[in-house]
Amino acid sequence: QKEVEQNSGPLSVPEGAIASLNCTYSDRVSQSFFWYRQYSGKSPELIMSIYSNGDKEDGRFTAQLNKASQYVSLLIRDSQPSDSATYLCAVNMPPYTGNQFYFGTGTSLTVIP
């Protein structure tokens, strides 16, 4: 059973604060990890990908991966009201398993002005 778990929230942070989103996964074969942002009524948008242990920064976003603990997180610095959305964690299996992706149910984030 391949599972990706996220806290559903809702998570509320004031504008300018750091938002921390967490995700755990069950399958040690997982190789690639992704964060998507989904605005209400829209499709998921890829915002971060991470493949190796450690931190990866892109603008105000930092993804953190710890394969030993099977844990991936997303930090959003200087949160803005436009960051209010649902954030989906996704895990990718190797191509020999069909290159399948497994998604968490998402964490709803609200940034309060």
Partner 1 sequence: DAGITQSPRHKVTETGTPVTLRCHQTENHRYMYWYRQDPGHGLRLIHYSYGVKDTDKGEVSDGYSVSRSKTEDFLLTLESATSSQTSVYFCAISGGARWAYEQYFGPGTRLTVT
Query: Encoding tokens for residue 57?
Result: 């920064």
Neighbouring C-beta atoms of residue 65, cutoff 10 Å: 19
Give yes or no for residue 105 binding partner 1 (CB under 8 A). yes
Interface region with partner 1, contact rule CB under 8 A, candidates 20-28, 37-45, 52-60, 75-83: 37-45
**End-to-end Cα spacing for the chain:** 40
Closest CB 103 distance from partner 1, rounded Å: 4
Interface region with partner 1, contact rule CB under 8 A, candidates 45-53, 55-63, 68-76, 77-85: 45-53
Give yes or no for residue 7 binding partner 1 (CB under 8 A). no
| Count of residues touching partner 1 (by CB under 8 A) | 23
How would you write 16-32 as a 3-class SS string?
Answer: CCCEEEEEEECCCCCCE
Query: Encoding tokens for residue 47?
Result: 């915002």
Give yes or no for residue 26 binding partner 1 (CB under 8 A). no
Rule CB under 8 A: choose which of 26, 66, 100, 112 binds partner 1: 100
Identify the DSSP state of 8: -
